[in-house]
Amino acid sequence: MPRYQPQPSDRFTFGLWTVGHTGRDPFGEPTRAPLSAPEVVRLVAEAGAAGVNFHDNDLVPIDASPAERDRIVRDFRAALDETGLTVPMATTNLFSDPAFRDGAFTNPDPAVRALALQKTMGAIDLGVELGAETYVFWGGREGTEVDAGRDVVDGLKWFREAINYLLAYCADNGYDLRFALEPKPNEPRGDIFLPTVGAMLAFIETLDDPDRVGVNPEVAHETMAGLNVTHAVAQAWDAGKLFHIDLNDQNPGRYDQDFRFGAHNPKAAFHLVRFLEGVGYDGPLHFDAHAYRTSDPEDVKAFAAGCMRTYLVLKEKAEQFAQDDEIQALLAEVTGTDDAQGAGLVGPYSTDGAAALRAHDFDRAALGRRGRPYERLDQLTTDLLLGVR
């Protein structure tokens, strides 16, 4: 088998909206012809992915008749059956239609909030029908430009009401679906509510059934907020909330770029892969990215292949990192695991332990002098990534 050839067991997924992206942006018209859902399924399957995800309206147009819906779903399912691809995740488009221009679940108009619930219940039914196990909520229009115009606490309350309602809807229908909330700081709104993984994790604990709800961190979104995505993902993992992940790349301080995974900052991508593989994350690895506007259909295939190839190369690099004696010795040094001096002084509190710690005589100056060879460690990591190690 060719090296770095993705297999379904790698759990890579793409969205209909990612590989099917037509190159439209706020300044320009599409540069590529749209692909039908079965065409995306075949392209993604040929590239070696395991699954395909969709927003309700990526598959079924918002004004499709019931007969059209049935035909589209039948053709899509036939393509899935033919290729063996699955649908691990589904989601709702609550941002394109003008009705949602001032938010969906957090819209001040209760009629729009009700419409958003109605649309999402239909989309959940569709997702479940096609086998989805995770349902993603990305609050595209849930936010503001004008802070005088919205009480944020109202926004949070309405968002909570909506998620609670939909949790109850799933329970009522016997759907074994987990929800993954996806934070983003801005775009398309000036400010989107619950902008980061940390904010979302705190919000989840206020829901009626927090156990069924986790997060869907995205590389680009944390990077847009100037944050370290691996730290965010680690916190989600620590909380038992890493239900899904959106992989792509982003240059901080720029527009929402959705670059091919690893395209901009391969070192950050490496640390993320090393983390995911190290802890044994076994959920879907979803590429929420799209090809450059300049790409033709062949280049779109190269884009999809490139996302997966980079992940697999970085996975191999992570294994190399774990087996490199020099790197591991430096790691032991910087993490203090080679040093017995402090052992026994820290750990769970006890009265005796606290007394011993209070009586302990530290050589503070020596502690302040102790070397931390991060330069050497990072250079070895760089050498390894650049292929000279």
- Chain residues that interact with ligand GCO, rule: CB under 6 A: 55, 91, 136, 138, 182, 184, 218, 246, 256, 288
Could you give the CA distance from residue 200 to residue 283 in angstroms, rounded to a whole number?
Answer: 19
58 in catalytic set: yes
360 in catalytic set: no
Q: How distant is the alpha carbon of residue 382 from its chain centre?
A: 25
Q: Closest CB to ligand GCO among 19 and 330?
A: 19
CB of 246 to Mn ion, least distance (A): 4
- What's the token pair of residue 338? 């080679």
Could you give the CA distance from residue 263 to residue 267 in angstroms, rounded to a whole number?
Answer: 10
91 makes contact, choosing from ligand GCO, Mn ion, none, with CB < 5 to 8 Å by partner type, with ligand GCO
Selected range binding Mn ion among 99-107, 149-157, 281-289, 380-388, rule: CB under 5 A: 281-289
Among 58, 102, 218, 333, binds Mn ion (CB under 5 A): 218
Half-sphere CA count of 118, side-chain side, radius 13 A: 8
102 makes contact, choosing from Mn ion, ligand GCO, none, with CB < 5 to 8 Å by partner type, with none
* Catalytic residue (one of 10, 21, 25, 55): 55
Could you give the CA distance from residue 311 to residue 183 in angstroms, rounded to a whole number?
Answer: 23
Please state the length of the chain.
Answer: 389
CB of 341 to ligand GCO, least distance (A): 47
* Catalytic residue (one of 21, 56, 58, 221): 58
56 makes contact, choosing from Mn ion, ligand GCO, none, with CB < 5 to 8 Å by partner type, with none
Q: Is 133 in the site for Mn ion (CB under 5 A)?
A: no
Residue in 16, 64, 55 with CA at minimum distance from that of residue 36:
16
Could you give the CA distance from residue 366 to residue 209 in angstroms, rounded to a whole number?
Answer: 50
Q: Of residues 220-249, which lie at the interface with Mn ion (CB under 5 A)?
A: 246
Q: Closest CB to ligand GCO among 271 and 290?
A: 290
CB of 274 to Mn ion, least distance (A): 22
The residue number with the shortest CB distance to ligand GCO is: 138
Could you give the CA distance from residue 128 to residue 232 in angstroms, rounded to a whole number?
Answer: 29
Q: Is 288 in the site for Mn ion (CB under 5 A)?
A: yes
- What's the token pair of residue 147? 């802070």
Q: What is the dihedral of CA 163, 169, 170, 173, to 10 degrees?
A: 180
Q: Is 142 in the site for Mn ion (CB under 5 A)?
A: no
Q: Closest CB to ligand GCO among 198 and 381?
A: 198
CB of 281 to ligand GCO, least distance (A): 18
Q: Closest CB to Mn ion among 218 and 249?
A: 218
Residue type at 312 in one-letter notation: L
Distances (CA, A) of 287 to 80, 93, 98, 249: 19, 18, 27, 10
Q: Closest CB to Mn ion among 58 and 218?
A: 218
CB atoms under 10 Å from CB of 226, counted, come to 10
Could you give the CA distance from residue 383 to residue 371 in angstroms, rounded to a whole number?
Answer: 21
- What's the token pair of residue 357? 């710690």
CB of 91 to Mn ion, least distance (A): 9
- What's the token pair of residue 49? 């992915």
Q: Closest CB to Mn ion among 14 and 158?
A: 14
136 makes contact, choosing from ligand GCO, Mn ion, none, with CB < 5 to 8 Å by partner type, with ligand GCO
CB of 124 to Mn ion, least distance (A): 18
* Pairing between β-strand 191-192 and β-strand 246-247 as defined by DSSP bridges: unpaired
CB of 343 to Mn ion, least distance (A): 43
With 0-12 / 13-18 / 19 or more C-beta atoms within 10 angstroms meaning exposed / middle / buried, residue 13 is buried
Distances (CA, A) of 128 to 53, 91, 177, 211, 288: 12, 11, 8, 19, 21
Q: Closest CB to ligand GCO among 142 and 218?
A: 218
Determine the size of the site formed for Mn ion (CB under 5 A).
Answer: 3
Provide the annotated active-site residues.
55, 58
| Interface ranges with Mn ion (CB under 5 A) | 218, 246, 288
